[in-house]
Amino acid sequence: MSNDAEAALLDRDNAHLLHPLHSHAVHATGKVWVGGEGAFLVDANGDRYIDGLSGLWNNTAGNGCRELVEAGSKQLAEMAYASGYSGSTNPRAIELAEKLARITYPNINHFFFTSGGGEATDSNIKMARYYWKLKGQPEKTKVISRIWGYHGVTLAAMCATGMSIYWPMFEPRMPGFVHIPSPYPYRYEAPEGAESQGIAAADELEKAILAEGPETVAMFIAEPVQGGGGVIPPQPDYFPRIREICTKYDVLMVSDEVITGFGRTGKMFGLQHWDVEPDMIQYAKAITSGYFSLGGIGISDEIANTMHESGKPWMHAYTYSAHPTGCAIGCAMMDLIEREDFPGQAAAKGKRLLVGLKDALADHPNVGDIRGLGLMCAVEYVKDRATKESFDPADGIAAKINAEAVARGLFSRSRPDVFMVAPPIIIDDETIDQMVEITAESTRAVLG
Ligand SMILES: Cc1ncc(COP(=O)(O)O)c(C=O)c1O
């Protein structure tokens, strides 16, 4: 196919289609994807690219996975859709909830399904508020989250999201949402005399709870590794302390596992790295490897028992909750993840990727930090390594590096000063090495 094929489709696209994060200017030079083969995507010109971010962190099994396709097709042929509202259910949703009860944190055994991650954030916020009302503490409604956290962009999720670029054109935000600093090992500055950087960063939560009044705070939500905010794994002592603080002040701890769930970080779920159990979780993306839009929440036995004993309906619902086709693909995906040891694969391949990036780029004067956990890694660029001074966001350094990478056959995403990679877990070693090489070459092409 010629370059004209993609350009012609983009012209038609621009005439009628609006996109997530829509920007007419950005999209004018967009890509039109028409095919996928394992860890590669194929554009309308027939060119192959490494799928550097697994779609949007979701497609861990890669494209063309027969057993996921067959599970979805079989379910569609048997019964395309039936309501999942109270009073109706379907076998695939029952099976998927059973599988999740087995592989998630031991105290999380009750699940509600959504169509994606943002809906899961809203569902957890509403679950937390409902729970505290049932417990006779209706004033516990506030949500604390972190700067650089991403939890989706429905109105409530956007208020929890701690990346301010998502807010200005949609103000006013809802009241009752508070943000604390990210533990960000490369940048968080602990106060003098702090026990450790991780403990100091966790203690920011205690300060915020006390400032708001513990009797007003419903929940704290955090990604085990901040993803869209720039792949930021925390210090090992951070989450254990967060758990202590949440327990001390009766604040529900919510683990947003939309990216970290199902093996991405080298464990099945992210907080398992630090032996911490949350009160609630949320997941999406890799639960179906992106083959169907499915997400959801999981809640502790304590919350579920309170809910069941109350007799008060949870007036929260989505038409596509427990969609049989999504759940059928989710069940097949759970089998695949366990059989092929996705967490183990992500740990080994992630190590290769991180070590490769460090070997290739650690000495570059504009590379400030190279970090990752499992198969999610990032390179943070700085103007000055000694002072960690960032580039002006208007310079769009990482976007320029991303453009160079695309020209060399690697398609991924960036924050203004951070280039991120999180390929499908089925990727092979040779392609990982190619990603490293392209990232290094692209860095040199932009920064010398
Ligand atoms: C951690 C996290 N939570 C929530 C979301 C929102 O998910 P969705 O885009 O499916 O609404 C995302 C999306 O990237 C995410 O990374």
CATH number at residue 309: 3.40.640.10
User: Residue with structure tokens 């998630």?
Assistant: 104
Question: What backbone phi and psi angles, to 5 degrees, belong to 226?
Answer: -60, 125
Residue ranges of the chain whose pLDDT lies below 50: 1
From ligand 1's centre to the CA of 226, what distance in Å?
11
C-beta of residue 18 within 8 angstroms of C-beta of residue 9: no
Domain boundary among 279, 314, 339: 339
The torsion angle over the Cα atoms of residues 379, 382, 387 and 390, rounded to 10 degrees, is: -120
43 and 79 part of one domain:
no
C-beta of residue 158 within 8 angstroms of C-beta of residue 152: yes
Within a domain: residue 105? Answer: yes
167 and 71 part of one domain:
yes
Task: Indicate whether residue 229 lines ligand 1 (CB < 6 A).
Answer: no
Query: What is the structure's pLDDT at 2?
Result: 55
295 and 432 part of one domain:
no
Q: How far apart are CA 259 and CA 337, in angstroms?
A: 15
Closest approach atom of ligand 1 to CA 223:
1
Within a domain: residue 6? Answer: no
C-beta of residue 318 within 8 angstroms of C-beta of residue 329: no
For the chain, report the end-to-end CA distance as a whole number of angstroms. Answer: 34
DSSP tag of 62:
-
Q: Which of 433, 435, 428, 423 is nearest to 57 (CA)?
A: 423
Domain boundary among 294, 314, 339: 339
Range of the domain at 45: 31-64+341-447
Total-model pTM: 0.98
329 and 374 part of one domain:
no
Residues 290-322 have pLDDT tens digits of: 999 999 999 999 999 999 999 999 999 999 999
Q: Report how many domains make up the chain.
A: 2
124 and 194 part of one domain:
yes
Closest residue CA from atom 1 of ligand 1 = 258
Would you tell me how many other CB atoms lie within 10 Å of the CB of residue 429? 12
How high does pLDDT run on average in the chain?
A: 97
Query: What is the structure's pLDDT at 24?
Result: 83
290 and 346 part of one domain:
no
Q: What tokens does 381 get?
A: 């660029």
Pocket test for ligand 1, best of 119, 122, 150 (most atoms within 8 A of CB): 150
C-beta of residue 287 within 8 angstroms of C-beta of residue 330: yes
Within a domain: residue 5? Answer: no
Question: What backbone phi and psi angles, to 5 degrees, belong to 302?
Answer: -60, -45
158 and 144 part of one domain:
yes
373 and 298 part of one domain:
no
Within a domain: residue 115? Answer: yes
User: Residue with structure tokens 């592989």?
Assistant: 103
Residues 136-176 have pLDDT tens digits of: 999 999 999 999 999 999 999 999 999 999 999 999 999 99
Within a domain: residue 26? Answer: no
402 and 253 part of one domain:
no
Domain boundary among 311, 339, 367: 339
CATH number at residue 44: 3.90.1150.10
Closest residue CA from atom 11 of ligand 1 = 118
297 and 379 part of one domain:
no
